[in-house]
Amino acid sequence: MMAPKQRTAILAGLAVIGTIALLAWKPTVVIYGLQAAGLYASIAIPMGLILGIVHIVNLAHGEIMMVASYATYFACKALGMDPLLAIIPAALVMAVFGWVLFQLTIKRALKAPELNQLILTFGIAIALSQSINLIFTSQTYKLQLDYVSSSIDIGDLSFGTWSFVFVAVAILFAYGLKYFLTKTTTGKAALAVGQNPRGAAIVGIDVNRMDALVFGLAIAMVGGMGALFLTKSAIFPSVGGPFTMKSFCLIAMAGVGNIPGILGASLLLGISENILRAFRDTRAWADIVFFVLIIVVIMSRSLKGRKS
Amino acid sequence: MLKIQGLECGYGRMKVIDGVSLEIGNESVGLFGPNGAGKTTLINAVMGMNKPWKGSIELDGTSIVGFETHVMARKGVALVPQERELFPGMSVEDNLRLGAVYIPHAKDSIQEQMEAMFALFPILKERRKQLAGTMSGGQQRMVAIARALMSKPKLLILDEPSLGLQPSIVAEVFDVLKELKKTVSILVTEQNVRESLKSIDRGYVLENGKIVLEDTAKGLETNPHVLKSYLGL
């Protein structure tokens, strides 16, 4: 049996060799893969926080980001503001939205069977996307921003640089959360609620309040991401759905509560998608590669479980 | 301190506690009974985990029926549950700190309380950085007791503290309880009547949800029902 440290070293070695080979073959696969990974991880980390502490799969996660993007879009249009300036206000507004959503719906389903929780959050997802569809129709909205088209030329290689901002946000989210959960009193209490809600109540932690706080924090993070997402992409009512599925897939790959694992899984997904996009024949398959990855991960876990 | 009168509660339609009355002052009280007698249900009712159907529960003369568990903890009632309920992915030190940080009357003296806990359980000082989930059952029980004491409770409730422990550790736990009763009121539920009688002042016997016997520790030790049913004599 291989020791965990040995296994990590071998995996890291393989990752380095693979990256060098990809850089030599098609550097854009690594560059765009990294950028996509940043975007996926930035959206998946708040979902992982909710699942790890509140213990609920939020199937409305992408739709909540979509709502934040719409709110930011119309606020920016009305006030003539750059969406980057709207990140913090969007996060604050969405934190309140998340808190209200928690008190009105999620709180009531926390002790319900998991299927009921899934139906509830799936229902919220449909309600949000259909409400936006009714109000704004399925028309796409996009802000024209000059800085988004910035690029770098290195020899024959030319690539966009703006999307690296998502990599920075993903790292900020991962390490910011790690600091919050391991170094602050409130963070440790939140972690305690995640590890043992009954034990947390016994030591005087108001579990319901802590769940609401964590849910609000995660929705604030995804709200800020909604504003940032607007800088890169066009928005429409169903734009969030795939991000819910991909976020869920990444958390399943990383394991619940494993935030650094989400970064790694996002990198794997981002690069896999961009390898397929590098070929004309397989380009269309890129968007479903996460299904293949999740099947492989689940199969390998069940085989490992059977062996042990 | 704690006064329970005519308490009835249960799960669904099944009544588990049927008209129980008991009282705990500044003393150490045992609650004995076989599996399924309702000991844990009674404790859960006191801690706000089970809603009583009928009767009253008072702490220092104030009704606490309907209070949530975290409120009970903040009011000075600390529980060491049967399943320990630690935070397995956190260090011993963090487990202990969390025992006091949300308790208004204890949060300002965390460091000195922690030193006191390390004096009471020296093994925990050696293992202060170890994850609680990686410790043995006996050590986890010590962490659970120390975590409860970190909150400087008025009343310490221990639910079957000897469950699943090897005899040498059981003796150690009850020695600690003997020491603790000088400073804190204790309610301990047990099936290990022989060991626990050495550390309590008074005791109740609970069978089928009803109190069938109440006496001092000495009285219980010589009671024919206790001798036959719980001490195997």
Taking only residues 175 to 214 of chain A, the set having a beta carbon closer than 8 angstroms to any beta carbon of chain B reads: 185, 188-189, 191-192, 195-196, 198-207
Residue A151 CB partners (closer than 8 Å, separation 6+): A158, A159, A160, A161
Residue (of B24, B143, B7) closest to A199 by Cα position: B143
Do A16 and A9 contact (CB within 8 A), yes or no?
A: no
Query: Each residue's pLDDT tens digit in chain B (233 positions)?
Result: 899 999 999 998 899 999 999 999 999 999 999 888 999 999 999 999 999 999 999 999 999 999 999 999 999 999 999 999 999 999 999 999 999 999 999 999 999 999 999 998 999 999 999 999 999 988 999 999 999 999 999 999 999 988 878 888 888 888 888 888 888 999 999 888 888 888 899 999 999 999 999 999 999 988 888 888 877 76
Whether residues A196 and B85 touch (CB distance < 8 A) is answered with: yes
* Domain of residue B3, CATH code: 3.40.50.300
In angstroms, the separation between the Cα of residue B71 and the nearest Cα of chain A is 6
Instruction: Judge: A204–B89 Cβ closer than 8 Å, yes or no.
Output: no
Q: Which chain A residues touch B98 with a CB distance below 8 Å?
A: 188-189, 192, 200, 203, 205
Nearest CA to B77 out of B154, B141, B24, B146 is that of: B154
Q: Is residue B175 part of a domain?
A: no
Q: B211 — alpha (psi -120 to 50), left (phi > 0) or beta?
A: beta
B186: distance to nearest CA of chain A, Å? 16
In terms of domains, do B67 and B90 share one?
Answer: no
Which 3 state secondary structure label does DSSP give A97? helix
Residue of B nearest to A189 (CA): B98
Task: Note whether B51 and B100 are same-domain residues.
Answer: no
What average pLDDT does the segment A28-39 reach? 93
**By 3-state DSSP, what share of chain A in percent is helix, strand and coil, each rounded to 5?**
80, 5, 20
- Contact status, residue A293 vs residue A253, Cβ threshold 8 Å: yes
User: Which of A183, A193, A203, A205 to probe by mutation at the B interface, max B CB count within 10 Å?
Assistant: A203
Tell me the three state secondary structure of residue A99: helix
**Structural domain includes residue B95:** yes
The residue of chain A with its CA nearest to that of B74 is A204
- Are residues B58 and B120 located together in one domain of the fold? no
Count up the domains in chain B and report the number. Answer: 2
Distance from CA of B102 to the nearest CA of A (A): 5
Owning domain of residue B2: 1-75+157-165+186-233
Which residues from A are below 8 Å from B148, CB to CB?
202
pLDDT of the residue at A7: 79
Residues B81 and B48 in one domain: no
List pLDDT tens digits, range A231-250: 999 999 999 999 999 999 99
Sort out which chain A residues have CB atoms less than 8 A from B103's CB and list them: 203-204
Could you tell me if B56 and B85 lie in one domain?
Answer: no
Beta carbons within 10 angstroms of residue A8's beta carbon: 11
Tell whether B161 and B113 lie within a shared domain: no
Is residue B180 assigned to a domain?
no
B171 located within any domain: no
Question: B161 and B53, same structural domain?
Answer: yes
| Residue B170 covered by a domain | no
In a domain, B142, yes or no: yes
User: H or E segment at B77?
Assistant: strand B77-80
Tokens describing residue A308: 């042990």
Select from B83, B87, B96, B155 the residue whose CB has the most chain A CBs within 10 Å, as the one to mutate to test that interface: B87
The residues, ordered by sequence, that sit 6+ positions from A260 with a Cβ below 8 Å of its Cβ are A174, A178
Distance from CA of A205 to the nearest CA of B (A): 6
Phi and psi of B223, rounded to 5°? -70, 130
Contact B95, B137 (CB under 8 A): no
- Determine which of A184, A196, A202 to mutate to test the interface with B (most B C-beta atoms within 10 Å): A202
Phi-psi region of A250 (alpha: psi -120 to 50; beta: other; left: phi over 0): alpha
- The reply to whether B48 and B69 lie within a common domain is yes
Mean pLDDT of A279-299: 82
Separation between Cα atoms, residue B42 and residue B124, nearest integer Å: 30
ipTM: 0.92
CB nearest B94 (choices: A188, A196, A206): A188
The reply to whether residue B97 touches residue A188, judged by beta carbons under 8 angstroms, is yes
Tokens describing residue B196? 């626990």
Question: At A205, is the secondary structure helix, strand, or coil?
Answer: coil
A48 phi/psi in degrees, rounded to 5: -65, -35
Instruction: Pull the structure tokens for residue B19.
Output: 């008209």
| pLDDT, greater one: A14 or A129 | A129
**Any idea where the domains of chain A sit in the sequence?**
36-143+210-284
Dist. CA A53–CA A50, nearest whole Å: 5
